[in-house]
Each structure stands twice: as C-alpha cells, then as structure tokens.
Amino acid sequence: MEIILQSDSLSANYIAARIIARQVRQKPESVLGFATGLTPLPLYQFLIKMHRNEGLDFSRVTAFNLDEYVGLDPAHPASYHSYMQDNLFAKINIDKHRTHIPDGLARDIPASCLAYEEKILAAGGIDIQVLGIGSDGHIGFNEPSSSLASRTRIKTLTVQTRKDNAGFFGGEDKVPHHVITMGLGTIMDCRMCLLLAFGKKKARAIAQAVEGPVTAMVPASILQMHPRAIVLVDEDAASELQRAFYYRWVYDNKPDWQKY
C-alpha cells in the first residue's frame, strides 16, 4: 500500500488524474472503474480538462462503476447513471456502449450481479479502480461485516450511510435502503486501486484502513493485501496516521521513474 499525502484535496486529485491519464496513454483500451460522490468530482474535472486541452483519448476505454441504488430509475438525478453522465461521460469521448453501471431496476438481481461480474471478466478485468471511503471504513457499499471475498451483490445500507447520502435526495427518508455494489473480492481483482479521502471526517477510517488490522469491520483494510493500492489523502484525512512522516519521506524521495 502506497500512501500519498498532499496539502489539499485538489493536489491529491491531480495526482490521481495523472495516474489515470498515464494508464490510458500507455494502454488506450484500458478498463477503468469509477466511483461517485463528492470526493472524486475534482478528479473527473481534471480528466475532462486533460481530454479537452491535451487530447486525452477515451474512445477505446471501457468503464465500470462500483454501484447503483436498487429501485432508482437511471434518469433520477440522484442515480449514479445520472451522476456519471453529468460529471464525466457526457464531457469526454467515451463510447456509451463501453460504459457499465449496475442495473438497479433488474427483475432478477442475483442474475444481474453475476452478469456484471462476467462483463468485467470479458473486458479483461479492471486496470484502475477509483475508490472513496465511508466514515465507517466502507468502500463501494461494502458495509462493515461484509465478506472480504464478496462479489457484486445487493447490500442493505446502514443508518449512517443513508444519513451521509441524504443530501443527494433531499432527506434521509428518501434514500433507498438497498444498493448493488461490487464486492471486496471484485475490487481486489482490479490491477490498481486508487483510494481518495479528504477531510477530518475520514481521518479515523483512513488510520484504521491503513495502519489497523485487516478486518471485515473496516472493509477498506483489505486493501493492505492488494499488490498495487494507492491511498491519496489531504492533511486532515491523514491527521490520525501514526507514520505520516514516513509516508511523506517515501513519496518525496521516489526515484524519478516512479514519480507521477
């Protein structure tokens, strides 16, 4: 696990954007995994600027999203279909037929989840997966106690997660109770994971995920077992890390060929 500390969230998002841009330039047919929420918005804005100003080409890229609400129409403004269209897909030259988001309206949810896994495999697997982290340490919607080997499936949201997402729906009572999410096993199959976390609210979760034991009660801690997990945090999110000085030292003293 590589920990990259930056003074602010914009700097961290810009590094994440450079990592993704390098991947796409080196492998134009890359498979990218995207996340939603407020955390990755600056990352997507940087990618849009790179597309417009530097010619970053997404025409051969395939995309898979982490999750979607069950029972929510894709046209709903709080759906992740709408989020991705509004904040990234409509502003770059990605082929809409190469974009994949779990089907929250599927009649047979288990079959739909299995099909999603099969699509990922058929695409060759995910090269880079963007992740956020919840205040309780969840990634995707893999809430605490989720199996560390889980695959794409339906999950019931915790009270806290529904509160955290209430702003997108205009009230907690309007937040769906269920989601479809990639599992932790699915995430661990990705060749690289980019975990973004900013602000004091994420400090404890980051400390537990990075420096605590690997446990299903902190789902993000499984990334300690990933061969290529990069955690990008600002000073506030890093404030409870015991080895913050060391992480800064490592990043500042990388050999040139390892720098982003």
Confidence of residue 256 (pLDDT cuts 50, 70, 90): confident
E-only strand ranges, 47-161: 62-65, 67-69, 99-100, 128-131, 153-156
What's the rounded Cα separation, in Å, for the pair 105 and 153? Answer: 13
pLDDT band at 46 (very low <50, low <70, confident <90, very high): very high
Query: What's phi and psi for 145, nearest 5 deg?
Result: 90, 0
Q: Which residues are catalytic?
A: 67, 136, 138, 143
CATH of the domain at 81: 3.40.50.1360
Model confidence at 168, in pLDDT bands (50, 70, 90)? Answer: confident
Contact 12, 19 (CB under 8 A): no
Give 199: exposed, middle or buried? Use CB within 10 Å, 0-12, 13-18, 19+.
middle
State residue 38's pLDDT score.
Answer: 93
User: Considering the chain, what is the average pLDDT of its residues?
Assistant: 96
Predicted confidence (pLDDT) at residue 160 exceeds the cutoff of 90: no
Span 100-158, pLDDT tens digits: 999 999 999 999 999 999 999 999 999 999 999 999 999 999 999 999 999 999 999 98
Q: How many whole angstroms separate alpha carbon 46 and alpha carbon 48?
A: 5
What pLDDT, on the 0 to 100 scale, is given for residue 135?
A: 92
Q: Is the pLDDT of residue 181 over 90?
A: yes
> What's 66's DSSP letter?
S
Burial class for 224, CB neighbours closer than 10 Å (0-12, 13-18, 19+): middle
* In the predicted structure, residue 260 carries a pLDDT above the cut 90: no
Query: Could you read off the pLDDT of 104-114 as tens digits, one per residue?
Result: 999 999 999 99
User: Cα separation of 241 and 211, whole Å?
Assistant: 7
pLDDT of residue 81 exceeding 90, the answer is: yes
Number of domains in the chain: 1
Mean pLDDT of 59-65: 98
Domain region containing 74: 2-258
State the helix-helix crossing angle for 41-54 and 9-26, rounded to 10 degrees: 50
